[in-house]
Amino acid sequence: MAPWQTPLERVLLKELTACARLSYERGWCFGTAGNFSLRLRPELMWQSPSGLNKGNLQPELFLPIRVQDGALLDPLRSLVPSLEMPMHRGIYLGRPKARAVVHCHPPKVVKRSQQVGLEGLSFVGAEMIKALGAGDYNGQVCCPVLPNLNKSEMECVAEKLPSLLEEVALVILAGHGVYAWGQSPLEALAVVEALEFLCQTH
């Protein structure tokens, strides 16, 4: 039987849809770009469906996915999970405390990731790096940039991703966008906001 959303999952999925709408309104999810997920139970994640406008997501549209192997637990629905679901799975496999993942295409992040290539994005001496985990504004934060993935590479990325993650709660695909995670949807969105601000100003 397909799993139900618990009351807490429902509340946090509402918060996640608000984050998706904000991302859309800021121009970070134009078209049907962007994908979002929530994982409160170790074995179950709720994934946004493929092909929908992210300004209009609703909690009941999210699809239940088994974290271990990516199986869709409600196959009778007409919706299918986002093609980028394996990135979300990989993050949950590698970061047991992550409860929400936000993925979008902020323009400055996309542009900077094309300029720096795979050496990664480093930020030093800026107040906003504290939002990415630096203890002090004089410190340094390194954000991993991985090559973008085609469809077949995306399908098998989940098991490889945990070893590629670093301390900072985000990973960037070059020329594509950022995946950020946190204990809540708003915490994950705040990571994206800090990164986009740093890419605009640094």
Contact residues toward Zn ion (CB under 5 A) are 177
Distance CA 122, CA 180 (A): 16
Q: How distant is the alpha carbon of residue 158 from its chain centre?
A: 13
**Contact (Cβ atoms closer than 8 angstroms) between residue 124 and residue 57:** no
- Looking at the Cβ atoms of 90 and 177, the one nearer to Zn ion is 177
Look-up of token digits 């991302």: 23
- Looking at the Cβ atoms of 33 and 61, the one nearer to Zn ion is 33
CB-based burial label for 52 (10 Å; 0-12, 13-18, 19+):
middle
Distance CA 126, CA 130 (A): 8
Angle at 30 between CA 26 and CA 31, to 5 degrees: 155
- Looking at the Cβ atoms of 19 and 128, the one nearer to Zn ion is 19
Shortest distance, CB of residue 108 to Zn ion, whole angstroms?
16
- Looking at the Cβ atoms of 89 and 129, the one nearer to Zn ion is 89
Shortest distance, CB of residue 34 to Zn ion, whole angstroms?
6
Shortest distance, CB of residue 84 to Zn ion, whole angstroms?
6
- Looking at the Cβ atoms of 10 and 53, the one nearer to Zn ion is 53
Residue closest to Zn ion, measured at CB: 177
Shortest distance, CB of residue 6 to Zn ion, whole angstroms?
28
Distance CA 31, CA 89 (A): 23
Distance CA 114, CA 65 (A): 32
Shortest distance, CB of residue 104 to Zn ion, whole angstroms?
7
Report the chain's C-alpha Rg in angstroms: 16
